[in-house]
């Protein structure tokens, strides 16, 4: 680990700390909306699903994309927290018995194990709903048209044309292994869409030009692809202790991955290409883009 | 049935027809967002959960509240459709085996029966997400600040402080019967919040004054209370054929209702009082408010 790595990882950790602190506040009794009773058990299940010490990669991408284009850092932190609520809702629902049936996530019991099935469904529902609340709330100090663009882009990234649709394709893939194009599509939807949104969100927050927004969106696509490829590589090799969750399950279920189709060497070459393409996209921004290009490298090389 | 009833019911049916047509278009392949594959099975499950010939009471309330205050009818129709997606998502999830475990809804198999458990979870998730897409989309022609206010009010009505939280309290009520205050709170959240939002939404769409908005919101609260009370009365008496769903289940599960606590006569008196209070709230608008006050009566007297 050279000194660049250390300072990058420090920056990632610092931002994760800020995101965790904000999420803790957002999920505190007193921050939730006015007037009516909060069902404590449901709120605790939401906290269990969110406050789990994750790397908070998506919020980091929102923050750094906004920083690149001069966006409001406080607003970016809130949008990142909203995005993390969406990401965590998807994990809570994906872990359910009817879906991937996982008991363990980051070394902790999943929400339906720690609480119960119905509460886990409702906790996911409530986290998804809360994400839009966080963006729309007056505390997110952005012009209404930017907030609107964020709501639209996030709902499309998370919905049937994005993450939820990708999960449906993934479930179908257990019965019939998709071809290469099918695998690429499902991964772009299931994992890629939210990561792409994270980068695009930074541009929206900043009121960037359509060109900058498109560039960040494409950058996000590259990161998304790299993230998934690295994940497939890890799934092949890591053990449950490193990952804090069940591993090798995709292979056991006969799910196709690009790594399974083309092999490890191809995957490593492709990862290097993606990192280089991602860096090229941002080269016009000079040094200011160093953190984001470093993030691409980090995502491609991650070990857990 | 007098002539007023007939014309009111015709108006309700006409509006349900418009809402159904819009929802059908919104859930058509070609209307869903660009670029990527739509998982057909998931989309069919969403259609199954939504296009079921419901009365579309909530969209009607949005339309009529907007009409009262001079709001854009096209925009109101779209917001009504979005709200109906949220309502239908909640039914799809509430019917799941881990929740109320219902096989039948409006005389049709519920989504997890017609499809499967995982698809039903994802169909609910996708409908909830799509609601925010519909509001935020450029086709909803409203100023961004009104759209933002709609997103905020809807997410609060649907989230942990509203409908989802109410469902959590309702599940808890199966184990420990709440007292009167507890029942009132859970019903205000579970059923009341979306109905209240429907009326408030009309005011937001119209760019109404804070005073008008508050008045419509309170009107929506009265309708919500009447709706629930009528529902509890029906649950006591109707049979499954009339309701198209399992009935008497609340009583069988030992869930407390206000009707169970205070009896039928009290319920009928209270319904009459709520209708009268609702009408009083809108008396300042004169004849223009006739449809909404008629709606209050209709909700209180409904037979299915």
Task: Classify domain A3-301 at the CATH class level.
Answer: mainly alpha
* A159–chain B Cβ distance below 8 A for any pair: yes
pLDDT tens digit sequence for A202-220: 999 999 999 999 999 999 9
Taking 80 as the threshold, does the pLDDT of residue A105 lie above it?
yes
Best residue of A136, A153, A183, A200 to probe chain B, by most B CBs closer than 10 Å: A136
* A75–chain B Cβ distance below 8 A for any pair: no
* A118–chain B Cβ distance below 8 A for any pair: yes
Taking 90 as the threshold, does the pLDDT of residue A62 lie above it?
yes
Question: Across the interface, do B41 and A167 touch by the CB < 8 Å criterion?
Answer: no
CA distance B41 to B141: 31
Nearest CA-CA partner of B167 in A33, A111, A119, A98: A119
Q: Supply the pLDDT for residue A167.
A: 96
Q: Supply the pLDDT for residue B120.
A: 98
Residue-wise burial string across A274-300, b where 16 or more C-beta atoms lie within 10 A, e elsewhere:
bbebbbebbeeeeeebbbbbbbbbbbb
Taking 60 as the threshold, does the pLDDT of residue A163 lie above it?
yes
Give how far B169 is from chain A: nearest CA, Å.
6
Taking 60 as the threshold, does the pLDDT of residue B31 lie above it?
no
Which chain B residues contact residue A46 at CB under 8 A? 160
Residue B53's region, left for phi above 0, alpha for psi from -120 to 50, else beta, is left
pLDDT tens digit sequence for A7-30: 999 999 999 999 999 999 999 975
CA distance B183 to A8: 52
Question: Across the interface, do B156 and A98 touch by the CB < 8 Å criterion?
Answer: no
Q: Which residues contact B10 (CB under 8 A, 6 or more apart)?
A: none
The whole-number average pLDDT for the span A80-99 is 98
The answer to whether B276 and B288 have CB atoms below 8 angstroms apart is no
Best residue of B131, B140, B164 to probe chain A, by most A CBs closer than 10 Å: B164
Q: Supply the pLDDT for residue B53.
A: 84
Taking 80 as the threshold, does the pLDDT of residue A253 lie above it?
no
Q: Supply the pLDDT for residue B302.
A: 83
Measuring CA to CA, how many Å separate B121 from each of A253, B49, B98, B237, B245? 21, 11, 11, 31, 20
**Residue A164 is nearest to which of B122, B151, B171, comparing CB atoms?**
B122
pLDDT tens digit sequence for B183-238: 999 999 999 999 999 999 999 999 999 999 999 999 999 999 999 999 989 887 76
Please spell the DSSP secondary structure of A235-297, one letter per residue.
Answer: HHH--HHHHTS--SHHHHTT---HHHHHHHHHHHHHHHHHHHHHHHHTGGGGGGGHHHHHHHH
CA distance B232 to B248: 9
Give how far B50 is from chain A: nearest CA, Å.
15
Least confident of A274-283, B12-21, B222-231, B234-243: B234-243
* A160–chain B Cβ distance below 8 A for any pair: yes
Q: Which residues contact A133 (CB under 8 A, 6 or more apart)?
A: A33, B152, B155, B156, B159
Averaged pLDDT score across all residues of chain A: 91
Give the residue with greater pLDDT, A182 vs B206.
Answer: B206
* B29–chain A Cβ distance below 8 A for any pair: no
- What is the torsional sign of CA A201, A204, A210, A216? negative
* B113–chain A Cβ distance below 8 A for any pair: no
Taking 50 as the threshold, does the pLDDT of residue A240 lie above it?
no
């Amino acid at each position: 680990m050279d000194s660049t790595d250390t300072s990058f990882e420090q920056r990632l950790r610092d931002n994760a700390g800020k995101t965790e602190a904000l999420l803790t506040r957002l999920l505190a009794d007193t921050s939730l909306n006015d007037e009516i009773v909060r069902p404590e058990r449901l709120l605790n299940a939401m906290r269990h699903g969110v406050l789990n010490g994750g790397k908070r990669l998506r919020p980091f991408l929102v923050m750094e994309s906004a920083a690149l284009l001069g966006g409001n850092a406080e607003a970016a932190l809130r949008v990142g927290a909203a995005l993390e609520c969406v990401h965590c809702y998807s994990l809570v629902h994906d872990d359910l018995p009817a879906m991937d049936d996982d008991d363990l996530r980051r070394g902790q019991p999943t929400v339906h194990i720690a609480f119960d099935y119905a509460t886990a469904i409702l906790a996911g529902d409530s986290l998804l709903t809360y994400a839009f609340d966080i963006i729309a709330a007056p505390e997110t100090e952005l012009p209404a048209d930017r907030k609107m663009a964020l709501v639209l882009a996030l709902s499309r990234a998370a919905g049937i044309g994005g993450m939820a649709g990708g999960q449906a394709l993934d479930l179908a893939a257990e019965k019939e292994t998709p071809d290469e194009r099918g695998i690429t599509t499902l991964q772009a939807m299931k994992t890629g869409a939210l990561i792409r949104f994270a980068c695009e969100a930074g541009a929206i927050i900043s009121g960037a030009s359509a060109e900058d927004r498109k560039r960040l969106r494409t950058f996000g696509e590259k990161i998304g692809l790299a993230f998934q490829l690295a994940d497939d590589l890890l799934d092949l090799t890591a053990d449950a202790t490193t990952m804090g969750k069940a591993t090798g399950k995709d292979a056991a279920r006969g799910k196709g991955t690009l790594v399974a189709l083309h092999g490890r060497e191809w995957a490593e070459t492709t990862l290097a290409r993606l990192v280089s393409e991602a860096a090229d996209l941002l080269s016009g921004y000079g040094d200011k883009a160093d953190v984001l290009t470093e993030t691409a490298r980090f995502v491609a090389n991650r070990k857990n």
